[in-house]
Amino acid sequence: MEAIVQNPPLNDTQILLLQTFAQIKSEQEKEDIQGLLLDYYQKRVDNQANQFHFSNEKIEEILNFHYRTPYK
């Protein structure tokens, strides 16, 4: 027997995005809108990261940290 997945109804933002995407007529328009959305979310991530006041050196240290347990 297959499980039935119940999806919640779409919210106003999802409906707006669907209506916007329905108007896309070319690949270039699609790429432009994708770029706008990526820029928006990149700015949000940058703003949240700036709240931590990490220097570039600290970010590199975090990225290069090895979380493995050292075994001898």
Q: Is residue 24 part of a domain?
A: no
pLDDT at residue 7 is higher than 80: yes
Q: Is residue 59 part of a domain?
A: yes
User: Count of domains in the chain?
Assistant: 1
Q: Is residue 45 part of a domain?
A: yes
Q: Is residue 27 part of a domain?
A: no
Mean pLDDT of 37-58: 87
Which domain range does residue 59 map to? 37-63
pLDDT of residue 26: 96
Q: Is residue 14 part of a domain?
A: no
What is the band of 1 on the pLDDT scale with cuts at 50, 70, 90?
low
Model pTM score: 0.56
Q: Is residue 42 part of a domain?
A: yes
Q: Taking Cα atoms as reference points, which of 4, 34, 39 lies closest to residue 17?
A: 34
